[in-house]
Amino acid sequence: MHASRIVAAAVAAAFVPVLLTGCSSNSGGSGGGGGGGSTLTIEDYYAASFNPIYQDCAKQVGAKVKINHVAGAGLIAKVLQQASSRTLPDVLMLDNPDVQQIASSGALSPLGDYGLNADGLVPAVKAANSYKGDLYGLEPVTNSIALYYNKKLLSAAGITPPKTWDELRTDAKKLTKGSTYGFAMSNINTYEGTWQFLPFFWSNGGDEKDIATPQAAQALQFVVDLQNDGSMSKSSITWAQADVDNQFIAGKAAMMINGPWQLPSLNATKGLEFDSVPIPTRTGSAPIAPLGGEAFTVPQTGNKDTMKLAGKFVGCLASAKMQSTIAGVTGNVPTNETVAAQWATSHPQVASFVTTVKTARARTGELGPDWPKAATKIYTAVQLALTGKASPTAALQQAQSQSQ
């Protein structure tokens, strides 16, 4: 949901120390205690603002819920520890790139066991949440990234939103004046930097199996050119997406790449007139951007009755009605294509994201649990090129040859 949370859970592959909380007490609920298994324990890295949604679905399926919010960066290490100690929650939220890793460990149950499927959802949601042919997670809402622009600045410069790389480069140069850069994006040396570069990389034919290709080099050269033109700050190598948002809000960037989770801060800024369009591609075709969002899963707790109830609960969260409710709370996009189309009409600020999600790609779609290795190589190459330590071609070759 929030910028860092989209990619944060994968960071936990470094396995930070596990802090045992009251979560381990859930063995009573999962093991058949607490009213015959009618209490479901839920684990996520959301904030308390999500609790009413859980309470709503709990009421619908006839359950009580015990909610445990944990830090996103420590979630995966915690889940693996819980799996080994058999203290998994009844309902587990995971960042979508982590679903295949946890499913491969045997900690999750197939959602088909509860009559759930991904019919009618955007294709990438099914791909991200499936492992060896079985669906293990459902995302009620999703997100991606788009190009936000300052309407006043573009209008004053006589510019319409760009659709191609050439247009973006020309416009960014024209919009760069005084302390305002024409363009901003996050090129930080984390998965967040990779996430922001992917639309340029993928849309131009880049492939994570081998990042050292001419198509990838062309995409990286484009970003380097924006910096070399003076249209993008050299500080982008240290900016997270929240920092990019702050630059845009302060009027120091006329255009930025960011996600719908920034809408609350943008809308709260007095006098800021903005809109967004899908991220430009070299040819002007539809962008291939990364699919964001979190999935809800049913862990293998050993209690079939509670797992069945958890399946109903996950089904409730993914229902068309709840998708709209959750989208309203989070600012994200419903994953049901029909619901999303209706949402774009009634919520024009997310229309570009609804469009982008249609052609979005799951980060784990090609490499599965090995995706983090490729993500590290990609942001490493971006850093090498933007800091002038290597040409785009050499940076990609150097990063590709690194053993992760």
| 3-state SS class at 194 | helix
Tell me if 363 is assigned to some domain. Answer: no
Q: Which residues, including other chains, have CB under 8 Å from residue 319's CB and lie 6 or more apart?
A: none
Using CA atoms, how far apart are residues 402 and 9, in angstroms rounded to an integer?
23
pLDDT digits (tens, 9 = 90+) for 108-158: 999 999 999 999 999 999 999 999 999 999 999 999 999 999 999 999 999
- How many structural domains compose the chain? 2
| 3-state SS class at 380 | helix
Using CA atoms, how far apart are residues 357 and 367, in angstroms rounded to an integer?
20
pLDDT digits (tens, 9 = 90+) for 235-293: 999 999 999 999 999 999 999 999 999 999 999 999 999 999 999 999 999 999 999 99
The strand pairing partners of 43, in sequence order, are: 68, 92
Quick one: CA torsion of 294, 142, 372, 106, rounded to 10 degrees? 40
| Res. 369 pLDDT band, cuts 50 70 90 | confident
The yes-or-no verdict on residue 13 having pLDDT over 90 is: no
Using CA atoms, how far apart are residues 149 and 145, in angstroms rounded to an integer?
13
pLDDT digits (tens, 9 = 90+) for 191-239: 999 999 999 999 999 999 999 999 999 999 999 999 999 999 999 999 9
Whether 213 and 349 share a structural domain: no
Would strands 39-44 and 91-95 be described as parallel, antiparallel, or unpaired?
parallel
pTM of the complete model beyond 0.85: yes
Tell me if 99 is assigned to some domain. Answer: yes
Residue numbers of the domain that contains 195: 146-289+368-401
Nearest alpha-carbon partner for 334 in 311, 357, 363: 357
Tell me if 306 is assigned to some domain. Answer: yes
Whether 138 and 165 share a structural domain: no
Tell me if 350 is assigned to some domain. Answer: yes
Q: State the average pLDDT over residues 85-90.
A: 96
For residue 41, the domain's CATH number is 3.40.190.10
Tell me if 181 is assigned to some domain. Answer: yes
The confidence score (pLDDT) of residue 5 equals 41
Tell me if 270 is assigned to some domain. Answer: yes
Nearest alpha-carbon partner for 312 in 141, 19, 60: 60
Tally the residues of the chain: 404
Whether 351 and 224 share a structural domain: no
Whether 88 and 65 share a structural domain: yes
Whether 178 and 218 share a structural domain: yes
pLDDT digits (tens, 9 = 90+) for 300-358: 999 999 999 999 999 999 999 999 999 998 889 999 999 999 999 999 999 999 999 99
Using CA atoms, how far apart are residues 84 and 72, in angstroms rounded to an integer?
20
The strand pairing partners of 253, in sequence order, are: 181
The yes-or-no verdict on residue 398 having pLDDT over 70 is: yes
Tell me if 281 is assigned to some domain. Answer: yes
The torsion angles phi and psi of 200, rounded to 5 degrees, stand at -70, -45
The rounded percent of the chain whose pLDDT value lies above 90 is: 87
Whether 79 and 108 share a structural domain: yes
CB 288 within 8 A of CB 202: yes
| 3-state SS class at 326 | helix
| Res. 404 pLDDT band, cuts 50 70 90 | low
Whether 352 and 331 share a structural domain: yes
- Output b/e per residue, 263-275; b: 16+ Cβ within 10 A: beebeeeeebebb
Whether 35 and 87 share a structural domain: yes
pLDDT digits (tens, 9 = 90+) for 150-184: 999 999 999 999 999 999 999 999 999 999 999 99
Using CA atoms, how far apart are residues 216 and 194, in angstroms rounded to an integer?
13
Whether 242 and 172 share a structural domain: yes
Whether 200 and 251 share a structural domain: yes
| Res. 8 pLDDT band, cuts 50 70 90 | very low
Whether 11 and 133 share a structural domain: yes
Tell me if 80 is assigned to some domain. Answer: yes
Using CA atoms, how far apart are residues 130 and 104, in angstroms rounded to an integer?
10
The confidence score (pLDDT) of residue 186 equals 98
Would strands 39-44 and 64-69 be described as parallel, antiparallel, or unpaired?
parallel
Whether 130 and 165 share a structural domain: no
